[in-house]
Amino acid sequence: MRVIKVEDYNKLSELAAEIIAGQVSVKADSVLGLATGSSPIGTYKVLVEKYNKGLLDFSKIKTVNLDEYVGLDGESDQSYRYFMDENLFNQVNINKANTNVPNGKAQDTLAECERYENLIKELGGVDLQLLGIGYNGHIGFNEPDGIYPNIVHIADLTESTITANSRLFEKVEDVPTQAFTMGIGTIMRAKKILLVAAADKADVVEQAATGPVTPQLPASILQLHSDVTVIVAGK
Ligand code: F6R
Protein backbone atom coordinates (compact mmCIF):
# COMPACT_ATOMS: atom_id res chain seq x y z
CA MET A 1 0.00 0.00 0.00
CA ARG A 2 1.40 3.35 -1.06
CA VAL A 3 0.39 6.15 1.32
CA ILE A 4 0.95 9.66 -0.01
CA LYS A 5 0.57 12.54 2.41
CA VAL A 6 -0.30 15.88 0.82
CA GLU A 7 -0.62 19.37 2.24
CA ASP A 8 -4.37 19.89 2.00
CA TYR A 9 -7.66 18.81 0.43
CA ASN A 10 -6.99 20.75 -2.82
CA LYS A 11 -3.69 18.92 -3.35
CA LEU A 12 -5.42 15.62 -2.56
CA SER A 13 -8.09 16.34 -5.16
CA GLU A 14 -5.55 17.36 -7.80
CA LEU A 15 -3.42 14.28 -7.26
CA ALA A 16 -6.38 11.88 -7.23
CA ALA A 17 -7.75 13.47 -10.41
CA GLU A 18 -4.32 13.12 -12.07
CA ILE A 19 -4.31 9.41 -11.30
CA ILE A 20 -7.84 8.91 -12.66
CA ALA A 21 -7.02 11.05 -15.71
CA GLY A 22 -3.95 8.88 -16.30
CA GLN A 23 -6.14 5.77 -16.23
CA VAL A 24 -8.65 7.31 -18.66
CA SER A 25 -5.84 8.39 -20.99
CA VAL A 26 -4.09 5.01 -21.14
CA LYS A 27 -7.32 3.01 -21.47
CA ALA A 28 -10.12 5.03 -23.05
CA ASP A 29 -12.73 2.35 -22.29
CA SER A 30 -11.72 1.87 -18.66
CA VAL A 31 -14.21 0.67 -16.09
CA LEU A 32 -14.01 3.15 -13.22
CA GLY A 33 -15.37 2.19 -9.80
CA LEU A 34 -16.64 5.38 -8.15
CA ALA A 35 -17.49 6.60 -4.66
CA THR A 36 -19.74 9.31 -3.29
CA GLY A 37 -19.49 11.37 -0.09
CA SER A 38 -17.44 14.44 0.77
CA SER A 39 -14.01 12.95 0.11
CA PRO A 40 -14.15 12.62 -3.72
CA ILE A 41 -16.10 15.84 -4.46
CA GLY A 42 -12.90 17.82 -5.10
CA THR A 43 -11.53 15.03 -7.27
CA TYR A 44 -14.64 15.11 -9.47
CA LYS A 45 -14.39 18.91 -9.66
CA VAL A 46 -10.82 18.70 -10.99
CA LEU A 47 -11.83 15.97 -13.47
CA VAL A 48 -14.60 18.25 -14.79
CA GLU A 49 -12.07 21.12 -15.10
CA LYS A 50 -9.73 18.87 -17.08
CA TYR A 51 -12.62 17.80 -19.31
CA ASN A 52 -13.58 21.45 -19.92
CA LYS A 53 -10.00 22.18 -20.96
CA GLY A 54 -10.24 19.37 -23.54
CA LEU A 55 -7.78 17.17 -21.65
CA LEU A 56 -10.12 14.23 -21.04
CA ASP A 57 -12.58 12.16 -23.02
CA PHE A 58 -15.15 10.09 -21.13
CA SER A 59 -17.08 8.93 -24.20
CA LYS A 60 -16.02 5.30 -23.88
CA ILE A 61 -15.68 5.17 -20.10
CA LYS A 62 -17.91 2.89 -18.08
CA THR A 63 -18.57 3.34 -14.38
CA VAL A 64 -19.86 1.29 -11.47
CA ASN A 65 -20.57 2.98 -8.16
CA LEU A 66 -19.79 1.34 -4.87
CA ASP A 67 -23.16 1.70 -3.23
CA GLU A 68 -26.65 3.16 -3.02
CA TYR A 69 -29.17 3.62 -0.20
CA VAL A 70 -31.99 1.08 -0.12
CA GLY A 71 -35.30 2.85 -0.73
CA LEU A 72 -34.06 5.97 -2.57
CA ASP A 73 -34.55 6.44 -6.29
CA GLY A 74 -32.25 8.40 -8.58
CA GLU A 75 -34.47 11.50 -8.47
CA SER A 76 -34.03 11.87 -4.72
CA ASP A 77 -31.30 14.42 -4.10
CA GLN A 78 -29.80 12.30 -1.30
CA SER A 79 -29.39 9.28 -3.57
CA TYR A 80 -25.95 8.37 -4.79
CA ARG A 81 -27.21 8.28 -8.40
CA TYR A 82 -28.23 11.94 -8.01
CA PHE A 83 -24.86 12.78 -6.42
CA MET A 84 -22.97 11.22 -9.33
CA ASP A 85 -25.13 12.92 -11.97
CA GLU A 86 -24.63 16.30 -10.29
CA ASN A 87 -20.94 16.04 -9.45
CA LEU A 88 -19.64 14.29 -12.56
CA PHE A 89 -21.86 12.61 -15.13
CA ASN A 90 -23.93 15.67 -16.15
CA GLN A 91 -20.76 17.71 -16.58
CA VAL A 92 -18.70 15.49 -18.89
CA ASN A 93 -19.27 13.59 -22.15
CA ILE A 94 -19.96 10.24 -20.52
CA ASN A 95 -22.72 8.09 -22.01
CA LYS A 96 -25.24 7.83 -19.13
CA ALA A 97 -26.12 4.31 -20.31
CA ASN A 98 -22.57 3.33 -19.35
CA THR A 99 -22.93 4.60 -15.77
CA ASN A 100 -24.11 2.14 -13.15
CA VAL A 101 -25.35 2.61 -9.59
CA PRO A 102 -27.35 -0.06 -7.71
CA ASN A 103 -31.09 0.50 -8.07
CA GLY A 104 -32.16 1.71 -4.63
CA LYS A 105 -35.80 1.10 -5.49
CA ALA A 106 -35.38 -2.51 -6.63
CA GLN A 107 -38.28 -4.60 -5.33
CA ASP A 108 -36.27 -7.80 -5.26
CA THR A 109 -33.20 -6.67 -3.35
CA LEU A 110 -31.40 -10.02 -3.55
CA ALA A 111 -31.86 -10.14 -7.32
CA GLU A 112 -30.50 -6.58 -7.52
CA CYS A 113 -27.36 -7.60 -5.59
CA GLU A 114 -26.82 -10.52 -7.96
CA ARG A 115 -27.46 -8.38 -11.05
CA TYR A 116 -24.94 -5.77 -9.88
CA GLU A 117 -22.20 -8.27 -9.04
CA ASN A 118 -22.71 -9.99 -12.43
CA LEU A 119 -22.70 -6.67 -14.23
CA ILE A 120 -19.23 -5.88 -12.85
CA LYS A 121 -18.02 -9.28 -14.05
CA GLU A 122 -19.56 -8.79 -17.48
CA LEU A 123 -17.83 -5.43 -17.80
CA GLY A 124 -14.54 -7.26 -17.29
CA GLY A 125 -13.99 -6.05 -13.73
CA VAL A 126 -13.03 -2.65 -12.38
CA ASP A 127 -9.79 -1.12 -13.69
CA LEU A 128 -9.52 1.58 -11.04
CA GLN A 129 -11.67 1.76 -7.91
CA LEU A 130 -11.95 5.09 -6.06
CA LEU A 131 -12.74 4.80 -2.34
CA GLY A 132 -13.37 7.01 0.66
CA ILE A 133 -13.14 5.66 4.19
CA GLY A 134 -15.49 5.88 7.17
CA TYR A 135 -14.37 6.94 10.66
CA ASN A 136 -14.81 3.29 11.67
CA GLY A 137 -12.71 2.07 8.72
CA HIS A 138 -15.62 1.11 6.49
CA ILE A 139 -15.13 1.00 2.72
CA GLY A 140 -18.25 1.06 0.59
CA PHE A 141 -20.78 0.24 3.28
CA ASN A 142 -18.81 -2.71 4.61
CA GLU A 143 -19.00 -1.90 8.29
CA PRO A 144 -16.80 -3.44 11.02
CA ASP A 145 -17.84 -7.08 11.32
CA GLY A 146 -16.61 -10.61 11.93
CA ILE A 147 -16.29 -11.43 8.23
CA TYR A 148 -15.36 -9.84 4.90
CA PRO A 149 -18.46 -9.94 2.65
CA ASN A 150 -17.37 -11.26 -0.74
CA ILE A 151 -20.03 -9.95 -3.09
CA VAL A 152 -22.56 -7.17 -3.55
CA HIS A 153 -25.01 -7.33 -0.65
CA ILE A 154 -27.32 -5.30 1.56
CA ALA A 155 -25.60 -3.78 4.55
CA ASP A 156 -27.18 -2.52 7.75
CA LEU A 157 -25.62 0.86 8.48
CA THR A 158 -24.11 1.35 11.90
CA GLU A 159 -25.23 4.11 14.25
CA SER A 160 -21.98 6.04 13.63
CA THR A 161 -22.40 5.91 9.84
CA ILE A 162 -26.04 7.00 10.09
CA THR A 163 -24.99 9.92 12.31
CA ALA A 164 -22.11 10.87 9.98
CA ASN A 165 -24.38 10.77 6.90
CA SER A 166 -27.27 12.60 8.55
CA ARG A 167 -25.59 15.93 7.69
CA LEU A 168 -27.01 15.50 4.20
CA PHE A 169 -30.57 14.82 5.37
CA GLU A 170 -33.10 17.07 7.07
CA LYS A 171 -33.18 14.87 10.16
CA VAL A 172 -31.38 11.76 11.30
CA GLU A 173 -34.60 9.68 11.07
CA ASP A 174 -34.60 10.29 7.30
CA VAL A 175 -31.27 8.51 6.78
CA PRO A 176 -31.90 5.07 5.27
CA THR A 177 -30.72 2.27 7.55
CA GLN A 178 -29.63 -0.08 4.76
CA ALA A 179 -27.60 0.20 1.58
CA PHE A 180 -26.62 -1.88 -1.41
CA THR A 181 -22.85 -2.13 -1.41
CA MET A 182 -20.06 -3.86 -3.24
CA GLY A 183 -18.58 -6.49 -0.94
CA ILE A 184 -15.00 -6.42 0.27
CA GLY A 185 -14.35 -9.17 -2.29
CA THR A 186 -15.87 -7.04 -5.06
CA ILE A 187 -13.61 -4.13 -4.08
CA MET A 188 -10.50 -6.31 -3.75
CA ARG A 189 -11.04 -7.72 -7.28
CA ALA A 190 -10.48 -4.23 -8.76
CA LYS A 191 -7.17 -4.08 -10.61
CA LYS A 192 -6.14 -0.83 -8.92
CA ILE A 193 -7.49 1.00 -5.90
CA LEU A 194 -7.24 4.69 -5.02
CA LEU A 195 -8.40 5.78 -1.57
CA VAL A 196 -8.81 9.45 -0.72
CA ALA A 197 -9.01 10.64 2.87
CA ALA A 198 -9.34 14.17 4.20
CA ALA A 199 -7.37 15.20 7.31
CA ASP A 200 -10.11 14.08 9.74
CA LYS A 201 -9.54 10.47 8.57
CA ALA A 202 -5.76 10.49 9.12
CA ASP A 203 -5.96 8.31 12.27
CA VAL A 204 -8.14 5.60 10.78
CA VAL A 205 -5.98 5.55 7.63
CA GLU A 206 -2.89 5.07 9.80
CA GLN A 207 -4.55 2.12 11.58
CA ALA A 208 -5.73 0.60 8.29
CA ALA A 209 -2.30 0.90 6.70
CA THR A 210 -0.13 -0.23 9.60
CA GLY A 211 -2.32 -2.15 12.04
CA PRO A 212 -3.55 -5.73 11.95
CA VAL A 213 -5.64 -6.88 9.00
CA THR A 214 -9.07 -7.45 10.52
CA PRO A 215 -12.71 -7.26 9.42
CA GLN A 216 -13.20 -5.10 12.53
CA LEU A 217 -11.42 -2.40 10.49
CA PRO A 218 -12.53 -3.28 6.96
CA ALA A 219 -10.07 -0.98 5.11
CA SER A 220 -7.14 -2.89 6.66
CA ILE A 221 -7.75 -5.64 4.05
CA LEU A 222 -6.30 -3.23 1.47
CA GLN A 223 -2.84 -4.15 2.82
CA LEU A 224 -3.30 -7.43 0.94
CA HIS A 225 -4.03 -5.82 -2.44
CA SER A 226 -1.08 -5.44 -4.79
CA ASP A 227 -1.93 -1.98 -6.20
CA VAL A 228 -3.38 0.46 -3.67
CA THR A 229 -2.64 4.18 -3.48
CA VAL A 230 -3.91 6.11 -0.46
CA ILE A 231 -3.84 9.90 -0.52
CA VAL A 232 -4.26 11.62 2.86
CA ALA A 233 -4.58 15.36 3.30
CA GLY A 234 -2.61 17.03 6.08
CA LYS A 235 -5.20 19.65 7.02
C1 F6R B 1 -19.46 6.33 -0.46
C2 F6R B 1 -18.94 5.25 0.38
C3 F6R B 1 -18.50 5.50 1.78
C4 F6R B 1 -17.74 6.81 1.96
C5 F6R B 1 -17.31 6.99 3.41
C6 F6R B 1 -16.64 8.32 3.64
O7 F6R B 1 -19.84 5.86 -1.73
O8 F6R B 1 -18.91 4.14 -0.06
O9 F6R B 1 -17.70 4.42 2.20
O10 F6R B 1 -16.61 6.81 1.13
O11 F6R B 1 -18.43 6.90 4.25
O12 F6R B 1 -17.57 9.34 3.43
P13 F6R B 1 -17.13 10.87 3.36
O14 F6R B 1 -16.22 10.99 2.19
O15 F6R B 1 -18.42 11.62 3.15
O16 F6R B 1 -16.46 11.16 4.66
Average pLDDT over residues 134-144: 96
pLDDT in tens, 35-46: 999 999 999 999
Torsion of CA 29, 35, 40, 46, to 10 degrees: 20
Transcribe 118-143 into DSSP letters: HHHHHTT--SEEEE---TT--BTTB-
| Mutation choice for ligand 1 from 39, 64, 79, 80, CB with most ligand atoms inside 8 A | 39
Statement: the pTM of the whole predicted model exceeds 0.85: yes
pLDDT at 40: 98
Is the model's pLDDT at 117 over the cut of 90? yes
Q: Does the CB atom of residue 100 touch ligand 1 within 6 A?
A: no
The lowest-confidence range among 14-23, 50-59, 155-164, 198-207 is 155-164
Residue 235 predicted with pLDDT over 80: no
pLDDT of residue 144: 95
Closest CA to 221 of 206, 204, 203, 209: 209
99-112 average pLDDT score: 97
Average per-residue pLDDT for the chain: 97
Which of 191, 57, 73 is closest to 123 using CA atoms?
A: 191
Cβ of residue 38 lying under 6 Å from some atom of ligand 1 = yes
Residue 155 has pLDDT above 80, yes or no: yes
What is the best residue among 13, 82, 126, 133 to mutate for testing ligand 1's pocket, by most ligand atoms within 8 Å of CB? Answer: 133
Higher pLDDT, 165 or 11: 11
Whether 203 and 133 have beta carbons less than 8 Å apart is answered as no
Residue-wise pLDDT tens digits, 64-86: 999 999 999 999 999 999 999 99
Cβ of 143 closer than 6 Å to ligand 1, yes or no, is no
What pLDDT shows up at residue 168? 87
The sheet carrying 31-34 orders its strands as 2-6, 228-233, 192-197, 128-131, 31-34, 62-65, 99-100
